[in-house]
Amino acid sequence: MEAHVEVRNLNVYYGYDQALKNINLQIPKRQITVIMGPSGCGKTTLLKSLNRFLELEDLARLDGEVLIDGENIYAPQMDVTEIRKKTGLLAQRPHPLPMSIYDNVAYGLRIHRMCKKGHQLDAKVQHYLEEAGLWGEVKDRLHAPASGLSIGQQQRLCLARGLAVEPEILLGDEPTSALDPISAQHIEKRLQALKNEYTIVLVTHILRQAKRLADYVIFMYLGELIEFGPAAQVFEQPQQEKTRAYLEGQF
């Protein structure tokens, strides 16, 4: 297994509460790693520490290291915008930007000056909308407001928007939890297709979804990393009593 992300001695505090306790783990390249565990176990906190989103919270404090491609993203000389460009995020609910469908995808390309010419921009927007499985539904109304799309379509738009800045890692924070079953299935299919090119880290509390998607599994409980390993191993032969109990639905 080739590690893409490595977490070393990570502790996170919100005020006086410790949300993550000495986490050490490695996230493999171009695989889907699923973080699971009961509510309040620190899944989302762990995810947010991977794109330095924690520092947007007022009371959050962090020590330890998170290495992406061997570089500590919390080192002082690191540019936070570069880190976030490298790590796309799919939030729980889609939040399209207040602009047209086209401009939503073009936004990242423009701020990072990734396109020199206009027609290149058109081609890239189309490409990423296709990648996200949305092109067919929106190709005739690219300049309509993004807020007019259904929630499921909005989430795919957010996926296209995230892919457009050419990240290496995709973070998903329960990206299907606000969606209807069909839209959720759509997103899951896209993620499976995308794992050949991207390292995907997914937070979910839906056990079936974890089983459908995971190559690797991180199981967390009350801020601690309980178990980490290949999906088959964790699901079939969990090493820890707590993992077994969770898989059996005890909490």
Partner 1 sequence: MKRRHVEEGIMKLLMLFSYTLLIAGLGLVLLTVLVKGLPALNLAMVTQVPKGGYYLGKEGGILNAILGSLYLAAGGTLLALVFSLPISLYLQAYVRRSPWAGYVRLTLDVMWGIPSIVYGAFGFIVLLAMGMRASLLGGILVLALLELPIMTRAMDEVIRMMPTDLEKASFALGSTRLETALKVVTRQMLPGIITAILLAFGRGIGDAASVLFVAGYTDRIPTSLFRPVASLPLAVFFQLGTPFPEVQQRAYAAALLLTLIILATSLGARWLAGRLGKFTIR
User: Would you say 140 or 241 has its CB closer to partner 1?
Assistant: 140
Query: In whole angstroms, what is the distance from residue 187 CA to residue 35 CA?
Result: 17
Which candidate, 118, 107, 98, 100, places its Cα nearest to that of 162?
107
What minimum distance in Å lies between the beta carbon of 246 and partner 1?
Answer: 29
- Total residues binding partner 1 (CB under 8 A): 30
Contact 139, 176 (CB under 8 A): no
Query: In whole angstroms, what is the distance from residue 219 CA to residue 34 CA?
Result: 8
What minimum distance in Å lies between the beta carbon of 171 and partner 1?
Answer: 9
Determine which residue in the list 16, 39, 56, 119 makes contact with partner 1, applying CB under 8 A: 56
User: Is 178 among the residues that bind partner 1 (CB under 8 A)?
Assistant: no
> Strand, helix or coil at 227?
strand
User: Is 165 among the residues that bind partner 1 (CB under 8 A)?
Assistant: yes
Determine which residue in the list 12, 25, 34, 158 makes contact with partner 1, applying CB under 8 A: 158
User: Would you say 143 or 208 has its CB closer to partner 1?
Assistant: 143
Looking up tokens 């939890």, which residue turns up?
177
Query: In whole angstroms, what is the distance from residue 103 CA to residue 120 CA?
Result: 14
Beta-carbon contacts of residue 92 (< 8 Å; ≥ 6 apart): 173, 174, 175, 177, 178
User: Would you say 29 or 86 has its CB closer to partner 1?
Assistant: 86
User: Would you say 41 or 146 has its CB closer to partner 1?
Assistant: 146
User: Is 112 among the residues that bind partner 1 (CB under 8 A)?
Assistant: yes
User: Is 115 among the residues that bind partner 1 (CB under 8 A)?
Assistant: no
Which candidate, 49, 40, 36, 39, places its Cα nearest to that of 218?
36
Task: State residue 199 phi and psi, 5-degree precision.
Answer: -85, 125
Task: State residue 196 phi and psi, 5-degree precision.
Answer: -70, -20
User: Is 96 among the residues that bind partner 1 (CB under 8 A)?
Assistant: yes
User: Is 82 among the residues that bind partner 1 (CB under 8 A)?
Assistant: yes
What minimum distance in Å lies between the beta carbon of 228 and partner 1?
Answer: 25
Interface positions with partner 1 (CB under 8 A): 51, 53, 56, 81-86, 88-89, 91, 93, 95-100, 107-108, 111-112, 145-147, 158, 161-162, 165
